[in-house]
A and B are shown apart, each in its own frame.
Chain A
Amino acid sequence: MATTQQPAAVVENPLLEGLHLRRTPDPCVLVIFGASGDLTKRKLFPALYSLALRRLLPEQFAVVGVARSEESDDAFRERMKAAVQEFGRDEFRQEAWDWLAEGTHYVATEFTDEGGENRVVSVLNELDEQRGTGGNRVYYLAVPPDAIAPLVREIGKRRSSKGWARLIVEKPFGRDLTSAQELNEELQGYFDESEIFRIDHYLGKETVQNLLALRFANGIFEPIWNRQFVDHVQITVAESIGIEGRSAFYERAGAIRDIFQNHMLQLVALTAMEPPIEFTSESVRNEKVKVLRAMHTPGPKHVVRGQYGRGYVEGEEVPGYREEPGVASDSLTETYVAAKLFVDNWRWADTPFYVRAGKRLARRETSIAIEFKRAPHPPFEVTEEGLRPNVLVVHVQPDEGVSLEFAAKVPGQGLTLRTVHMDFLYGGAFRTGIPEAYERLILDCLLGDGTLFTRSDEVEEQWSLVDAIVGFWKRDRPAFPNYAAGTWGPAAADELMRRDGRSWRRR
């Protein structure tokens, strides 16, 4: 009987079973455009150092900083070392730094200068030879918005067929729907959507991801996470700082483009989204984009904008926005925005999402508060302050954690009730320090995982909503400033809630 020879079976390595090996990124070079900027110093290098310290970077790895200012490799390394020591979350260990510094280089050039870009390419090719990085590239565009498109063209033109390439793009991603679509088109002309990683650093925060864990890993919350049980949702992104010298950017962006278009709408999407089938980039982003699509444009009555005037923050007198260096004395740029949004779907129809974001507010706080409907008929004596509804608060920053407000009996005779808090503090439950958002996001990009990055259709849906809001603003001239620094924003924002018989949460 004739026998057919079987092809040699590929035998899997039985020794790997149960080893729980970490997934390690492929060898690659990270190219940071805009390496002389604040982001590189304050966030990117401290994050790279933390990853190096934990041996999460590939053994064959290099960083190339690219910027206009003249600087030698050694001077750049020294400056980044000082930045790691100043801004890093980990203790400084010389051997970890030495490993990272050994593969760190710097190229001084104009971003769109032909000769300069060719020099970048030749440095990258040399590094491939020296460090075995195999032509794999991550291009981090920490550059002003205007520089993104030309830079991508130059990178795209020089794209090698060897290895893979990924692009990290910092916000703002466009300044309206049209410019965002144009930019998407430009990027997608050279890179596949799966190679484009649009950073919204809020998505890299542990507590934002914990919101998904809270919702989808606990049986008790999801059944009541809907219009039947939730009265409304309040999302606050408050900063006590001013514009910190970023007047050129802020005058063009304002609160709506700086915070609302990206961080705020992402928080709304994560709060309102349906459970994804699996925690993969496409599943999660598909669900988020459905929420963004279902959000209808609030009318002008439901949006409040504000600008801070002179006031006191933590006891210190601070200037008004129009007094900040580089800001026009009659500037109409908003530093505060509040809105009442609706998500028109089966789960959330008619449930308002009140959102507010601003600068120079009373304190730094980002939180998502789910306020549940009141008990229909409490048969108890209540105190003067009344029986408050249950509120589940996800504290994104600071004091990362979750708290639940509920009623409890005051000890003694009778049945008097008071609202109490049950708190879970993230840092009090887990031994590992909370990683910085940039650590997680850079590592995810090196691994090619886009789950925590924003997809082109999400960005465009976000801009559609913002464009509609900004459209109303073109027709009026607000009386700015309309709130004092160190307060919780303009009176109109309180009125927005009061009209509905509600109020912003007290802190």
Chain B
Amino acid sequence: MATALDSIAEIEHELAFARMDDRGEPYQRTSVMTHVAWVPEAWVEAAEDVLAGLAERHPSRTIVLFPQPHAEDGIEASVQVDSFPQGEGRKVCTETIRVRLGGARAAAAASVVQPLFLPDLPVFMRWRGLPPFEERYFDELVGVVDRLIVDSTEWPGLPEPYTSLAGFFDHVAVSDIAWARTSRWRAQLASLWPGIADVRRIKVTGTEAQACLLAGWLRSRLRRQVDLEQEPSDRLVGVEVDGKPTPFPPGDPPHPSDLLSDELERFTRDPIYEDATRAARM
């Protein structure tokens, strides 16, 4: 980190300074949200890739939290202001605050991020890996954000974690990028109506999360038992309905940045997803 800042006041001061251009004039900003990313050590590289693709599309404040519970107690932060050309001399301005949460600070993350939220704008939190559903710090963070974005493809031991996730549906709106990745296939399966109404078994060639969610979706929408067989693949490339392959949906699969970007534009609960996760274990 270029400049280590160890308090909220220092972060705020650095932000104000970084907003000036070379002539000391402030950049004009229009912000639409605060985006919090929880990035444990194992996810740092992947998270930075997605953030790089995201920054220029959402004029937001992004707070990236790097929990390091075994490190020395304290916070260490850096601030970066980027502007991206948008044509006709205009630029989109984004602020990124990277905060390393050392020692006990990792367990009190909500108190660190809350003062940094942009006032009155929605707060989205992207959680990399399996959330610690039983931990108080997770509960506290969920309590201060408007939307939790996960990717259940990153979770081990599916479908059990969906049960824990469902416990949070009444507290925070949830987006799942694994679910978003199935949307083209859901539209394709929906087009098989009414023939698909009596489906008894599907075979999904894709990730475990995608298979569980597609099966849960069909069970909850059709109100019937649908057996699931999964053929492992890192991408969703096929769905068979009672042994018959479903035609491949048109278009290209979206990029991870696009998927996250789309989720950042949703503000309400998704009851269809919630039902699908509840039915994922049947």
Contacts and interface: CB of A to CB of B under 8 A. Distances in A.
Interface in A1-54: 11, 13-19, 21
B88 interface: yes
Given A18-B273, A428-B91, 16 more contacts: A11-B197, A13-B193, A17-B221, A17-B272, A19-B183, A55-B250, A399-B90, A427-B87, A427-B90, A427-B92, A428-B29, A428-B90, A431-B56, A431-B57, A431-B58, A433-B87
Interface string B210-248: 000000011001100000000000000000000000000
A55 B251 contact: yes
A70 interface: no
B57 A15 contact: no
Contacts of B58: 431
A428 B93 contact: yes
Nearest to B29: A428
Interface in A34-87: 55, 59
A56 to B, nearest CB: 12
A479 interface: no
B196 A428 contact: no
A192 interface: no
Contacts of B91: 428
Interface in B71-103: 86-88, 90-93
Among B59, B194, B271, chain A packs the most CB atoms within 10 A around the CB of: B59
A213 interface: no
B28 A423 contact: yes
A15 B190 contact: yes
A14 B86 contact: no
A433 B197 CA distance: 40
A428 B59 contact: yes
A15 B189 contact: yes
B30 A15 contact: no
B59 A429 contact: yes
Q: Which of B92, B217, B251 has the most CB of A within 10 A?
A: B92
Contacts of A14: 221-222
Contacts, number: 64
B52 to A, nearest CB: 14
A17 B273 CA distance: 11
Majority secondary structure of chain B interface residues (helix, strand, loop or mixed): mixed
Given A18-B270, A423-B28, A398 B88 contact: yes
B32 interface: yes
B222 A18 contact: no
A430 B187 CA distance: 27
B37 to A, nearest CB: 17
Interface of A: 11, 13-19, 21, 55, 59, 398-399, 423-425, 427-431, 433
A427 B271 CA distance: 32
A431 B54 CA distance: 10
Contacts of B272: 17-18
Give the top 3 A-B pairs by smallest Cβ distance, nearest first: A431-B57, A18-B272, A15-B190
A55 B217 CA distance: 26
Contacts of B190: 13, 15-16, 19
A427 B28 contact: no
Contacts of A13: 190, 193-194
Contact of A15 (B193, B251, B270): B193
Nearest to A397: B88
A19 B186 contact: yes
Contacts of A433: 87
B153 interface: no
A55 B250 CA distance: 10
Most buried by B among A17, A424, A427: A427
Contact of A428 (B86, B189, B251): B86
B271 A15 contact: no
Q: Which of A11, A15, A427 has the most CB of B within 10 A?
A: A15
Contacts of A11: 194, 197
26 contacts: A11-B197, A13-B193, A14-B221, A14-B222, A15-B189, A15-B196, A16-B190, A17-B221, A18-B270, A18-B273, A19-B186, A21-B187, A55-B251, A399-B90, A423-B28, A425-B28, A425-B30, A427-B90, A427-B92, A428-B28, A428-B59, A428-B91, A428-B93, A429-B59, A431-B58, A433-B87
